[in-house]
Amino acid sequence: MSNSPVIMDGKIVSAKIRGALKAQVASMKEKPCLAVVLVGEDPASKVYVANKEKACVEIGYASRKIVLPEQTGEDELMDVVAKLNDDSSVHGLLVQFPLPLHLKHLEERIIQTINPKKDVDGFHPINVGVMTTCSGSVCEEALLPCTPLGIIRILTEYKIPIAGKHAVILGRSNLVGKPVALLLLAQDATVTVCHSKTINLTQYSQKADIVVSAVGKANFVTADMVKEGAVIIDAGINRTQNGLVGDVDFAAVSGKVSAITPVPGGIGPMTIAMLMENLMKAYRMQKNG
């Protein structure tokens, strides 16, 4: 196998997507508006929110950031969410997780409270429910989760065949593992989901045409776990002493595979790009009733 796999560059693909959105917004009288609620001072959350704001400015969207103090109470936070739900000038709404410890138990309730037509994260049970029956036009009726969407989009942009291929997902989280399995099924892949209780996980990953890793363990996927010519999607983000790394031992694995996403610069930028696409979709859904 060649030592030069295709590097699936999320920065390039996301720039293309944002450019297309910017062109659409330029001709719109009303600008789609994203509202982000940030509670507390979590450093990673502040970075994520800043990146979303930056993308909105670049595209020409309106954005609103509501920053609440760490000690914010339940009622106050839920009141903020309710008001944004009712505000017709806000088209997309998200509350940045994780919440401070005393509010952690509210996360599921918040997801269920956000208007599903404003749920640009794609977490509301109604949107998740539509995703489970997703095929073709059905997918147009819901806002789908951004990271899984970004994974499908980058595979599509790099013309990686999905139909009939064996995709192995490492991780079963509600954020990535489960939804990406559903979206790959909708694209006619044969899907195996592995997780922390899977016995001899390597026997599955070695047979995969496409491996999607979302386990949150630095360098978890090694060269012996993948077959020659496989396609590797690294959806892991792990902060180490050596900086940001993915789930995949990139240096070792890239010499064996046909295509791979880097970390950083792979799925991360795609997630933001899909959020921006979801905002446009949410706006059009609300305007069309």
Domain layout of the chain by residue ranges: 29-115, 145-268
> What is the pLDDT at residue 254?
96
| Per annotation, catalytic residue among 9, 117, 119, 121 | 121
The 210-213 sheet, strands edge to edge:
6-7, 259-260, 231-234, 210-213, 166-170, 190-194
pTM here is: 0.95
> What is the pLDDT at residue 142?
85
Structure tokens at 31: 């600008």
Q: How far apart are the first and last CA of the chain?
A: 52
> What is the pLDDT at residue 243?
87
Using CA atoms, how far apart are residues 38 and 69, in angstroms rounded to an integer? Answer: 9
> What is the pLDDT at residue 136?
53
> What is the pLDDT at residue 3?
63
Domain at 29-115: CATH code:
3.40.50.10860
| Per annotation, catalytic residue among 96, 117, 118, 178 | 96
Q: Are 29-115 and 145-268 in the same CATH fold?
A: yes
Q: What is the mean pLDDT of each run of 10 residues along the chain (289 residues)?
A: 83 98 97 98 93 97 97 97 98 97 96 97 94 70 92 97 98 96 94 97 98 97 98 94 92 97 97 98 90
> What is the pLDDT at residue 240?
87
Is 96 tagged catalytic?
Answer: yes
Using CA atoms, how far apart are residues 4 and 2, in angstroms rounded to an integer? Answer: 5
Is 121 tagged catalytic?
Answer: yes
The superfamily (CATH) of domain 145-268 is NAD(P)-binding Rossmann-like Domain (3.40.50.720)
Is 197 tagged catalytic?
Answer: no
